[in-house]
Copies of this chain bind each other. A is one copy, B any other.
Amino acid sequence: MNVMNASPRRKELTRLAAQLFVQEGFDRTTVRMLAQEMGIKSGSLFHHFKDKQEILAAVIEEGTHNALVIARRALDNCDEHPEARLRAMARAHLETLFTDRNAHVVALFEWRRLASDASAHLSHLRDAYEALWVQVIDDALEAGLIHGDCFLVSRFILGALNWTVRWYDPGGPRTPDDLADELVAMITAR
């Protein structure tokens, strides 16, 4: 499954690529910019990655994988109250967006740039992550904590969370956890 990030060197390069992709966007990031950031020449890049697409695929796999792992850990480490679990998921989501700020952002905002074969190969990771959300939201609905259609609710919540990337200032007074808590409070207020 995870053939992609074998060597530690490649993993480090993937991390740097993620950073640049967030700053500039995938299309505007040239292989020469990537190489310079990595301290090598542009040709050397293709010793580690078959082409530019594969760099993107590696970053997105990393980002989605991280999000999945962190969300699972968050669910394991919280009690069974539907509201606590909802809050844990929201916090975990923002944690992957802002503390390890890069790979998951790329996964969310540059998914369209994936070639269709890579997209097909990675979609199961994304599906597994979204399945976590669906389950947590289903429980919250059943407990009467929130109201509406599960599919729509999950899309709305993820939309609100993902869009934070566009406006949130990590230097400001609010922490990512504050945001998560406020969102959960907003949709569970009675």
Contacts and interface: CB of A to CB of B under 8 A. Distances in A.
A186 B153 contact: yes
Chain A interface SS verdict (over half): helix
Contacts of A156: 160, 163, 182-183, 186
Contacts of A149: 182
B160 A25 contact: no
Nearest to A155: B167
Contacts of A182: 148-149, 152, 156
B146 A155 contact: no
Contact of A189 (B25, B147, B157, B161): B147
A50 interface: no
Interface in A9-53: 25, 27-28
Interface in A40-68: none
User: Which 10 pairs, one residue from A and one from B, show the smallest C-beta to C-beta distance?
Assistant: A159-B163, A27-B27, A156-B160, A147-B189, A159-B160, A160-B160, A148-B186, A190-B190, A152-B182, A159-B159
